Chain A
Amino acid sequence: MSLILHAEDLSKSFRYQKREKGWFKSTAVMVDAVQSINLSIERGERVAFVGPNGAGKSTTIKMLSGILTPSSGELSVCGFNPTKDRRKLSYRIGCVFGQRSQLLPNLPLKDSLELFGHMYDMTPQQIKTRSDQLIDIFSLSEFIDQPVRQLSLGQRMRGEIAASLMHKPEIIFLDEPTIGLDVIAKRDLRKTLIALNEQEKTTIFLTSHDTADIESLSQRLVVIDHGKIIIDAPTKDVQKTYLNKKHFKIDYTTDISGLALPFQGIKAVGQSIEGTIDTSVQNINDVLHQLLNIALVEDIHLFDEELEDIIIDIYKSSGQGKP
């Protein structure tokens, strides 16, 4: 596997004028949106880039895709410097910004695919072949002749991603692609993106606030907060490392609300108790042993902490994030 993206000490600062009392009074304030981040991505990887609002996700994605010029640092995407070779790089990358449309609103979706084909120097035959492929991969046939403004949000998003893939980019940057979609549309989109990654080996770089996107789509999780990368590891490892907490719910055959409970922080309601075991300070065998001896057990549920909670914990432990 070879590197498709490499960033070294990448930083971006920008200035804004802070208004003060008085008509013409203002002070220039510098904001360090991204601070010396290092990141390498291999071809074909699916990477989730997450962080709270204002963490520097969008700024980073815009630098990687050549939209913004970094203040300092080294950057190479598909072998190009995005600032100097923006035009050349554009043939190798695709971008989708979840809240912004690049489709022609009054025309059927197929016309937008045609427009993107022409933009990327494709011949009419290449445009037709590639459109047919994308219609198939993204199941666009039902609404390909419908004007874009009449499409549902889920259909439009599939169209947006398909359009940005017309030129078969090596890497696609997706900035919150599932924002506003319902659960079915989200699930379908995730499946399609995984299929695309497997079939065409397209590298996927995704930002999202939806932990289900991260869990199901990404092999690697990069967490950024206050412009700094605080975690960069395989998604499964992050889950394992941070899985100190096991949630449990035990149903007994008799009412246990009057009984003395062995630990604090356990909630007893009628015939059930609920709580969380912190495995970093408690031995899970001891805890379960004591809980199972309270009364005759009818059913037991034991489950891991959800990725969303893990990410909140990561933000908190970084000492700066606001979950």
Chain B
Amino acid sequence: MISLISKFIAVFKLQNRQAWYHKYTALGMMATWGLRLLLTAILYAGIYKVIQKTSLKGITLPVAISSMGLYTLYSCFGGREIFRIINDEYISGVMEVWLNKPLPYIGLKIAECLGKNIPAISGMFMAGIILFLFSDIKSATDNIILRILCGIPLLIGGVIITYLIYSIIGLSAIWLQDARSVFMIHDKLIMILGGIYIPIGFFPNWFRLIGESIPAGTATLISQLFYPDFFDNLLRFYSLQIIWIFILFVSLVKLNKKADLYLTVNGG
């Protein structure tokens, strides 16, 4: 087990080194994610100004911006990229190169994906720290430190769920030959339920509850970190994530075994 972890760390490190090798690309990635967050903040500041309200369904402007910012932070961990890698490597046949290596293909690709996304994650953290220091979020909510501490496992859980879901969708390419259609459906679902378009605090309660309970929504619970009812829901959030991680992990392992038997690459 330790040997396996050290292999994943080695892959992660070298992919991270590769991501930073072309510095301008890495800086571009950082700037893209940072700008995305800043633009979202400006957009919502404009909306609150137009509606002339300090809060909407109990969500103040700083909380709404932080909610979308946290979704952006979650998404720059690159979970959806794992789908593209698996699907493209299956279609192009590159997958065969990695199948007889001494570490599991999916794990290898997850380590690769995380390593590649370090510039984006760094950019996002920096932009987040700047926003945090210069925004009103500190005065708009209570128990900031405790929220952040409780949010870390939620973020990790969400990232794990995302990697599991997208790995499953990626592996389905072995049967579907190209799983982009499934990916697109799920991708939009996770974006809506994660609150990339509208903070999920604005959703009707029943819709929010359903959204939070399915894997796509459970992955993005971190976006509710600064919501007033965050602590009331925290135990339910943790439980939902643990249940889905277990179900998705078991499903992925079973699917992976079936894929081994079913796999054909390049007519062979």
Which residue numbers of A lie inside 8 Å of B, CB to CB? Answer: 12, 14, 33, 54, 56, 58-59, 62, 65-69, 83, 86-87, 89-91, 93, 95, 97, 100-102, 104-107, 111, 114-115, 118-121, 147
Contacts and interface: CB of A to CB of B under 8 A. Distances in A.
Contacts of B268: 12, 33, 56, 58-59, 62, 68
B171 to A, nearest CB: 15
Interface string B60-104: 000000000000000000000000000000000110111111110
Contacts of A107: 14, 17-18, 21
Contacts of B10: 115, 118-119
B93 to A, nearest CB: 7
Contacts of A14: 264
Interface residues of B, number: 29
Contacts of B98: 102
B53 interface: no
A54 B266 CA distance: 10
Given A54-B267, A119-B7, A95 B97 contact: yes
B261 interface: yes
A66 B99 contact: yes
A119 B101 contact: yes
Given A58-B266, A58-B268, A118-B6, A111 B17 contact: yes
Given A54-B267, A62-B265, A62-B268, A106 B18 contact: yes
B260 interface: yes
B3 A104 contact: no
Interface in B1-44: 3, 6-7, 10-11, 14-15, 17-18, 21-22
Contacts of A56: 268
Across chains A and B, which 7 residue pairs bring their CB atoms closest together, nearest first? A59-B268, A118-B10, A90-B102, A58-B268, A106-B21, A67-B99, A102-B97
B250 interface: no
A118 B94 CA distance: 21
Nearest to A99: B93
Given A58-B266, A111-B17, A97 B97 contact: yes
14 contacts: A14-B264, A58-B268, A67-B96, A68-B263, A68-B264, A86-B100, A90-B102, A91-B102, A97-B97, A100-B93, A106-B18, A115-B11, A119-B10, A119-B103
A145 to B, nearest CB: 12
Given A62-B96, A100-B97, A147 B102 contact: no
A229 to B, nearest CB: 16
Contacts of A89: 100
Contacts of B266: 58
B101 A90 contact: yes
A190 B103 CA distance: 30
Contact of A111 (B14, B100, B103): B14
A23 to B, nearest CB: 15
A65 B100 contact: yes
Contacts of A12: 268
A10 to B, nearest CB: 13
A180 to B, nearest CB: 16
Nearest to B263: A68
Nearest to B108: A119
A165 B70 CA distance: 45
A89 B102 CA distance: 8
A120 B102 contact: yes
A69 B96 CA distance: 13
A97 B260 CA distance: 19
Interface in B141-194: none
Contacts of A65: 100
A54 B268 CA distance: 9
Interface centre among A89, A91, A106 (most CB of B within 10 A): A106
Contacts of B99: 66-67, 86
Most A-side CB within 10 Å, residue of B3, B99, B100: B100
Contacts of A101: 94, 97
Contacts of B3: 121
B92 to A, nearest CB: 8
Nearest to A95: B100
Contacts of B101: 90, 119
A14 B263 CA distance: 9
A105 B112 CA distance: 13
Given A69-B261, A97-B96, A104-B15, 14 more contacts: A58-B267, A66-B100, A68-B263, A68-B264, A86-B99, A87-B103, A101-B97, A105-B18, A106-B18, A115-B10, A119-B10, A119-B101, A121-B3, A147-B21
Contact of A90 (B21, B100, B265): B100
A248 B154 CA distance: 81
A120 B11 CA distance: 12
A69 B102 contact: no
Interface string B250-261: 000000000011
Contacts of B96: 62, 67, 97, 100
Contacts of B261: 69
B100 A104 contact: no
B260 to A, nearest CB: 6
Nearest to A17: B177
Contact of B100 (A33, A67, A69, A106): A67
